Structure 1
Amino acid sequence: MTDTLSDDALDLIFREARSYNGWHDKPVTEKQIHQIYELVKMGPTSANQQPGRFIWCTSDDAKKRLSECVSDGNTDKVLTAPAVVIIGYDLDFHENLPWLFPHTDAKSWFEGDEEGRKESAFRNSALQGAYLMIAARALGLDCGPMSGFDQDKTTKEFFADQPRYRADWLCAVGYGDRTTIFDRSPRPEFDLFNKVI
């Protein structure tokens, strides 16, 4: 592939994109949620593990339940966002590898190694969460990622029917209110955190 995105597209996804704390009263539709996921699933994960598990809280009831799991500073963000997605992971993702990665017996790599599965699921679902933010932004939506919440309480509340799933972080999705963002924090220059060898 030799084509590159336009500067406008790069601004939309990265340079001008911000983390929002407040939202306009405009819904995120189920069609948009499906569009986001159709992009997320195309992002690479190790051995196509696809360990991410996503619960999209769009109803008032779901957001109220979630608001009781978050820190005080995130309560209003959850209650007022059009959608808040719980990004979780499946500790037993390897059970799906025979069809997700049929090239070899990848399931056997993880059998009997729960700690290894947890590390891999955590890493690769975090990647999928990042893809989710990029996909949402590319589709004209804004994001507000959050880590201030009780992971165990959220897991029990939303993944009770899937005891091998774990909640990891949250991301509000909608149409951001620019009056609710902070001034952009500093970003490091290349030489500070990079080395080409």
Structure 2
Amino acid sequence: MTAFFYYYIAAWMTACVIAIVLMIQNIKTMILFQKKYWDFLKIKWKLITFFIALSAFVILAPYTGDPTWDYYDAAFMSILTFMTAPWSVGTLFRFINKQEKLKIAYIAACCWMFSASWSYDIYLVFRDGDYPITWLPNIFASSVLYVSAGLFWNLTYKDGRGVIFGFMENDWPAEKTNTHFSKLTLYAIPFMILAAAIFVPFLT
């Protein structure tokens, strides 16, 4: 492993430590750690689509022709994405709209990068003894999936507004929201197609 990757690992690990410290300092106010966020994720259609996606990625990982993909990284990256992407994407959107603090946006960005890239990288360092040559293209490919997942699991129906992303509302994540997937289907399909379009070409 070249010197560059030792510096890179040190840099992103430092970023993660800072994020963890900020998390601890703000744990009582961060939406990520509030019951209403996890209730927001436990809506039936979100759990069903998550388990479908998780199963597909894990089962098909060995057949992608990509030696860096296996059952383990497919599983933990999928789980991390479901747990954090809706919050991270929503938080960054709200930061851009001056509805969230910079330190919380920083944590969200680190959650994004750890889920989509750094966890994958360090797993492969331990598995293979070297930094994966796919680390850079993986950032882009996995980030597209991460953002898509964050948007997808934020879809919600609001009376008087129709289908929107939940983080566009001041009460996000709403404790009471329309849980019927039928009203979201047409808006959800493009995200499903995008995920398939990225993943399917890797199958051999």
Larger strand proportion, structure 1 or 2? 1
Which gives a bigger RCO, structure 1 or 2 (Cα 8 Å, sep 6+)?
1
TM-score over 0.5 for the alignment? Answer: no
Larger helix proportion, structure 1 or 2? 2
TM-score when normalising by structure 2: 0.29
TM-score when normalising by structure 1: 0.30
